[in-house]
Structure 1
């Protein structure tokens, strides 16, 4: 098994002892993406904009690893407030629709706290 570390400046750099993603050749594990803008390091305040940025960061990692959005088979969404579920769901649905991708399996849970006080964090697994 060849393990390749995935790194791109089109997604925020890791803020701890981990990597943006690990590619096993036919399977990609992308670390959870909070909504930091990779250029400015800033974070929007609305849950909608935070969700869009988290998904843009996911897309950057998936793409640089040579996968497509349609290769995503599993997502996990961490929310600071489950009351944001409907708003996140709408953005999430449009992300996969706009990228002509099938919806993956998914878990969505509320957590006590997300790094940098983000409202959302999204991680994915993709398979070729």
Structure 2
């Protein structure tokens, strides 16, 4: 199987040199994804709303790759303020509660102060080619 690159159309991808997701073998690697709405390049100032948008962005990339949120095997959450993590738990449970992937949370600064969470996932392909 050849490598497939997936783009969200974000300017950051072209400026920095990365893809929203990469399909390689039976896996989909989704880059750290923030809560930007790429349709209008806006971002909420609410961490819970950003988390929900992260999952919409991740789902879009996974679908283009031939995968789904239910195929996620690993997730990493990065938040500049660790106290923002617990308010996000209901959103995390909504999207991954049945999937229960291996997970990690890191407190670290993000590229833009407007960003309150970044989520990176690895998923298996639903139907490998």
* TM-score normalised according to structure 1 size: 0.87
1:32 aligns with 2:32: yes
Residue 7 of structure 1, CA deviation: 2.3
2:111 to 110, 115, 121: 115
C-alpha contact 2:8 2:38 (8 A) present in aligned 1? no
Q: Mark the runs of 5 or more structure 2 residues left unpaired by the alignment.
A: none
**Equivalent position SS for 1:28:** strand
Which segments of structure 1 move beyond 3 Å, counting only runs of 4 or more?
Answer: none
1:4-63 deviations in Å (ceiling 9; x for gaps): 111245xx4525211111101310111000111011101000111011111111111111
Matches within 5 A, 1:13-92: 14=13, 16-92=16-92
Structure 1 residues 68-90: Cα deviation after superposition (integer angstroms, max 9, x where no partner): 11111000000110001111222
Cα deviation, residue 94, structure 1: 1.0
Distance 1:53 1:37 in 2: 7
SS in 2 for 1:42: coil
TM-fit CA distance, 1:116: 2.0
Q: Is the CA contact 1:34–1:115 (under 8 Å) kept in the aligned structure 2?
A: no
Query: Matched residues in 2 for 1:64 and 1:88: separation?
Result: 26
Measure the CA separation in 2 of the matches of 1:34 and 1:7. 14
Does 2:103 align with 1:106?
Answer: yes
Q: State which drifts further: 22-31 or 12-21.
A: 12-21
Number of residue pairs aligned between Structure 1 and Structure 2: 122
Partner of residue 125, structure 1: 122
